[in-house]
A and B are shown apart, each in its own frame.
Chain A
Amino acid sequence: MRVWVVDDRASFRRATAATLAAMDEFVMAGECETGESAIELLRDGDAGIVLMDIHMPGMGGIEAARRIRAARSDLIVLLMSTYDVEDLPAGAADCGAAAYLHKEHLSPDLLTRLWQAAD
């Protein structure tokens, strides 16, 4: 499965890339730091999963997820942040994202289980 990472923190993008590199099921397909560039770059890409940070400068991850899903309903968008579920911003539930993952809980095991559930 090809994974695209959208996060304004370069260190988190690098760390996620290293995590994916150590896994058999996933390949890092690409990365970018804003929702706007994600919409542009994912229009024709061959990514299967998008890990999308919610809190980014500009439009943010929720609106980006909504627009990406409108153009590419085949993409699985997973929102990420450090909010507790009850504190998620409005729109997170109906933007087309398949799930919300707390960044502190994002792990190789969780990604594998999500992938198995989606398969």
Chain B
Amino acid sequence: MRGRRRRTACRPLRRGYLLKERVSHFYELSEAVHPVATGGTVLDPLVVEALLAQPRTAATLSRLTPREREVLGELATGFSNRTVAQRLVLSQRAVEKHINSIFAKLGLTIDDSVDRRVKAVLMFLDDPASA
């Protein structure tokens, strides 16, 4: 985040994020155009709301135990449960138990439309302390 801010300070990023629905409202668009043209950034209030509502990756990963992080690191390398079990000298059942615990701690429910294993790995790789 700091790096991003530094870059912005040196060379303004002329980016605006407005939902398409908002573009039809001419008044809001005209308000947005000015700050973007002058190097500012405009975020649609709905986008901001969605960003704030997203679970913080660091906060959820912080609940993982060292062993769970170790298992997740192995999954991030692409190993199957059986290989993870062999590499960590655990039973396959123990690995499955750890993976389910990881899913629970990261808030990844079985109803999610995403693959929980992939999502967990992406969260892991997004964590500066783990990756």
Contacts and interface: CB of A to CB of B under 8 A. Distances in A.
Give chain A's interface secondary structure class. helix
A23 interface: yes
B67 A18 contact: no
Interface residues of B, number: 19
Most chain A CB inside 10 Å of its own CB: which residue of B66, B70, B88, B127? B66
Interface residues of A, number: 18
A3 to B, nearest CB: 11
A19 B105 CA distance: 14
Contact of A15 (B63, B69, B89, B94): B69
Contact of B67 (A17, A23, A104): A104
B65 A107 contact: yes
A15 B62 CA distance: 11
A6 B94 CA distance: 24
B65 A108 contact: yes
Nearest to B60: A22
B69 to A, nearest CB: 4
Nearest to A82: B89
A20 to B, nearest CB: 9
Interface of A: 11-12, 14-19, 21-23, 82, 103-108
